[in-house]
Copies of this chain bind each other. A is one copy, B any other.
Amino acid sequence: MEQLTVVKIGGNVIDNSENLHRFLLDFQALPGKKILVHGGGKIATELGTSLGVEAKMVDGRRITDVETLRVVTMVYAGLINKNMVAQLQARGCNAIGLTGADGNIIKAVKRPVKTIDYGFVGDLDENAVAAGTLGSLLQAGLVPVLCAITHNGEGQLLNTNADTIASSVAVAMSSVYQTSLVYCFEKKGVLRDVENEDSLVKEIRASEFEMLQKQGVVSGGMIPKLHNAFEAIKNGLAAVYIGKADELPRISEQDFGTRLTA
C-alpha cells in the first residue's frame, strides 16, 4: 500500500509566522502522499474581539454562536487556509484548501444539546469522511489542506475540532493507504517529567496507556488526545505520532516525538 501522512498543526505553529514558514517547508518536503489539517489559533479570537464578538468558552471548549461561526469561517477557511495554500504553492507543493463542505468530504452532525449548548459545533461519526473524493484529489497530485470547518449536508457550516478531523480522515484513508497520523503540539511528545524535554517517552503501546495514566505520566489534555489516538490505531492506522512541529523531518525515520502503536 502507498504511504499517506496526515499532519495536524495547531495554534502554536499558526500564530507565529516564522514557525509557520519553517513548518510549511518541512511539510512540503515530506515524501509520499500527505494531508494537512489545521486548527485556528489566536487570530480568530483577535478578529472576534475587534468585531465585538467575545470568545465564549465552557470547560475549555469554544461555544460557537452564529457570530463566532462567521468569524471562524472567515479566519480558518479564508485567511489562514488560503495563505497556507499560497505559501505551499510557492514551494511547489500543489496544495488545495478545503472545508468539510467542499466536495462533501466531511459531513458532521451538529452536537446535540445536553447540559451545554455548544452551538454550531460538529461531531463526526464513522461515516463522516468521503474517502473516495479525498483519494481522487490525492491521485490527481493534490495535497489537501483541511481547516476545522465541516457542514451538516443541509447547508449549515459547523465548527469542528481539528484533532478529530485529523484522526477521522486518517482512519478513513487507512483502507486505501498505509496511513500515519502526526499531531504537532508545543512539547517534544509525551514526557515522563513535563518540565524536562529530555524525558521523552519514545513509544507507547496501547496496553501501556492505562498504566501511564495511573503513574501520572499522561494527564490532563493528553488523556483524550491519546485515547483518540489509540482508538484510531484500533480502527486501522499504522501509527500515531505526537511531537514538536520543528522536528517534523524526523518522521521519515519514524523517530518523531512519541510513537503510539497497537
A residues with CB within 8 A of B = 47, 50-51, 70, 73-79, 81-83, 85-87, 89-90, 94-99, 101-104, 133, 136-137, 140, 142, 149, 151, 153-157
B70/A85 in contact, CB under 8 A: no
State A87–B81 Cα separation when bound (angstroms): 20
Task: Please name all residues of chain B whose beta carbon is closer than 8 Å to the beta carbon of A96 when the two chains form the complex.
Answer: 98, 102-103
Task: Please name all residues of chain B whose beta carbon is closer than 8 Å to the beta carbon of A103 when the two chains form the complex.
Answer: 94-96, 142
B157/A83 in contact, CB under 8 A: yes
State A79–B74 Cα separation when bound (angstroms): 5
Most buried by B among A82, A95, A104, A157: A82
Task: Please name all residues of chain B whose beta carbon is closer than 8 Å to the beta carbon of A74 when the two chains form the complex.
Answer: 47, 74-75, 78-79
Task: Please name all residues of chain B whose beta carbon is closer than 8 Å to the beta carbon of A82 when the two chains form the complex.
Answer: 73, 77, 99, 101-102, 149, 157
Task: Please name all residues of chain B whose beta carbon is closer than 8 Å to the beta carbon of A81 when the two chains form the complex.
Answer: 77-78
Besides the contacts A51-B51, A95-B102, A133-B140, what 10 more A-B pairs have beta carbons closer than 8 Å? A47-B74, A74-B74, A74-B75, A77-B81, A85-B151, A86-B157, A89-B104, A90-B153, A103-B142, A136-B140
Known: A75-B78, A76-B78, A104-B89. A97 touches B99 (CB 8 A): yes
Task: Please name all residues of chain B whose beta carbon is closer than 8 Å to the beta carbon of A79 when the two chains form the complex.
Answer: 70, 73-74, 78
State A155–B142 Cα separation when bound (angstroms): 17
Task: Please name all residues of chain B whose beta carbon is closer than 8 Å to the beta carbon of A140 when the two chains form the complex.
Answer: 133, 136-137, 140
Contact check: which of B90, B98, B102, B104 meets A155 at CB < 8 Å? B90
State A34–B125 Cα separation when bound (angstroms): 31
Known: A79-B78, A153-B90. A85 touches B102 (CB 8 A): yes
State A83–B70 Cα separation when bound (angstroms): 10
Task: Please name all residues of chain B whose beta carbon is closer than 8 Å to the beta carbon of A142 when the two chains form the complex.
Answer: 103, 133
Task: Please name all residues of chain B whose beta carbon is closer than 8 Å to the beta carbon of A137 when the two chains form the complex.
Answer: 140
State A99–B103 Cα separation when bound (angstroms): 15
